[in-house]
Chains A and B, each alone.
Chain A
C-alpha cells in the first residue's frame, strides 16, 4: 500500500499517459522461489503476517498439510502442499509458495475501473491502493492466478504487495528474509533469471530432474515472481499453477474494442437523433391546430 520512493508506470482506470512515466531507468525486481529446496516450514507465511500486521485466520484440517485452501484477504502468502506420485510409484511433496505473481502485464490492473486503485511501479511491483478501491472485484475476474481477495466487511480487495513498502526503502521482502533454507531470493529480474536458470541446469544435470525449468510465463509478459520447478512441463501439479496463464480474452475485449465501439455507438446514437430532429422535427397531429397532445 505504501508508495515509498517508488514511481508509478501504470495505473488502473486512468485515461492518458502517466505523468513522469519513463523518466527513470527501470530496474525490474523479482522474487525467485526454488520449489526444489522449499521444506514447507511456513516461516514466510508468518513473516508476511507479521510484517503486514495481519491477524490470525481460521485453519482447516483436511487430512493433509494444507491449512487453508487458498490465499485470503488477510493471508497473502500460502504454501501449497501437493502430494505427488513419481513414475516409480513413490510419493514426493511438491511445495509451492503461492502469492501474487506481479505480472508484467497484469490482468487485475487491466480490469480495474477505479483510477489508481491498482498501480504498477517502475520496478514492476503491482500494488493495490485500497483508498481508491471501490470493491467491484473486476480484478478478481482479470487475474489468471486467483490472487486478489475481497473483504466483504470493508469492501476492499487485498493481496501481496511484494513488500513495496520495504522494497521502496531498499529492504528485501519479509518472506525472503525469513526463509531458512535459502530457497527464496530477491533481486533484479535479470539476476534472478540467471540464478534460476543456473539452478535449473544443475537440477537437470546433477539431480536427475530432466524436466527441471524456470516458470516465468510469457502469456502475462513474464512475472515478478519466478519459480524453479522440478518439472516445468507440469506446473499444474504445484497446486494449480496454470501452464499458460493469460489475461482472459473476454476481459481484453471488454476493456478494449467493446469500450470504443460502445462509446462510438452511444455518441453515434446521440448525433443520429439530433440529425433526425434537425431534418424532420416534431410530428404534427392531424385535424387540430395543436402540435402537442394536451387536451
Chain B
C-alpha cells in the first residue's frame, strides 16, 4: 500500500520543526527563571547566564517563524461555519466518538485555535520580552511599562504552555499518525478520510 497523501510539504515541515525546537528551548530556559524549583533546567542547558543570553535570541527566531507560518497557513487557518459545527460537537471528539462529527477541511477548529493562540501570545511575548531584555532603555518615568511587561510576559507564556501541552498530547498520543505526518509529510487515505474528510475530498478529488 503506497498511496499516501501529502499533508505537509517539505517547507511546512521545516517550518514546523524550527518553531517546535525554538519554542521548547525558549520554554525551558524561561521556566528555569520562572521558578526556583526549576532553576536546575538552566544548569542542564549550559548554565544560567548562557540560558539568559540565548532565550531572547532564540525567541526571536520563534516569533519570526510564527509569521512565516501565518503567511503559509493563513488560508487554512480561517475559521469556517463547518468548523463551528464541528466545534459544537467537540464532546464527541474528546470521547473518541469521531463517527458523530461533521466533516471538516485541512485543520479542525482546535488546531486553528492553537495556531491563533500561539500567534497572539507570540506577539505579546515579543513585545513584553523586548522590555525584559532591555529594561535600562525604558526611562524611569515610564517604569510602569516594565511592571506590566513582567506580568504579561509570564501570563502569555502560561497560556501558550497550556495550548502547547494539548497540542503535543493530541499530535503524538491521541491522533496516531499525526506525528509521522509532521515528520514524513504523508498520511494514509483512511486517516485523511477519518480526520479531515473535506480536505480528503478536496485533494484527492474523490
Contact = CB atoms under 8 A, between A and B. Distances in A.
Given A113-B39, A134-B48, A135-B49, A141 B146 contact: yes
A286 B193 contact: yes
Interface residues on B, range: 35 or more
Contacts of A135: 49, 52-53
A138 interface: yes
A146 interface: yes
Contacts of A168: none
Nearest to A140: B135
Contacts, number: 157
Interface residues on A, range: 35 or more
Interface stretch (A94-102, A187-195, A224-232, A269-277): A269-277
B4 A295 contact: yes
Contact of B176 (A250, A253, A263, A292): A292
A84 interface: no
Interface in B14-55: 32-37, 39, 42, 48-49, 51-53
A17 interface: no
A280 interface: yes
Interface stretch (A42-50, A201-209, A254-262): A254-262
A287 B194 contact: yes
Given A140-B136, A251-B147, A273 B154 contact: no
B36 A248 contact: no
A140 B149 CA distance: 13
Contacts of A140: 135-136, 146
Contact of A277 (B169, B193, B194): B169
A265 B158 contact: yes
B175 interface: yes
Contacts of A273: 165-166, 169, 173
Interface of B: 1-5, 32-37, 39, 42, 48-49, 51-53, 94-96, 98-99, 132, 135-136, 140, 143, 146-148, 150-151, 154-155, 158, 161-162, 165-166, 169, 173-178, 180-181, 186-191, 193-195
23 contacts: A14-B36, A15-B37, A137-B132, A138-B150, A140-B135, A150-B136, A155-B52, A155-B53, A250-B147, A250-B148, A251-B147, A258-B151, A259-B35, A262-B34, A273-B166, A281-B96, A285-B191, A287-B194, A290-B188, A292-B177, A293-B177, A293-B187, A293-B191
The 10 closest A-B pairs by CB, nearest first: A293-B177, A295-B4, A293-B191, A288-B190, A273-B169, A113-B33, A15-B36, A292-B176, A250-B147, A134-B48
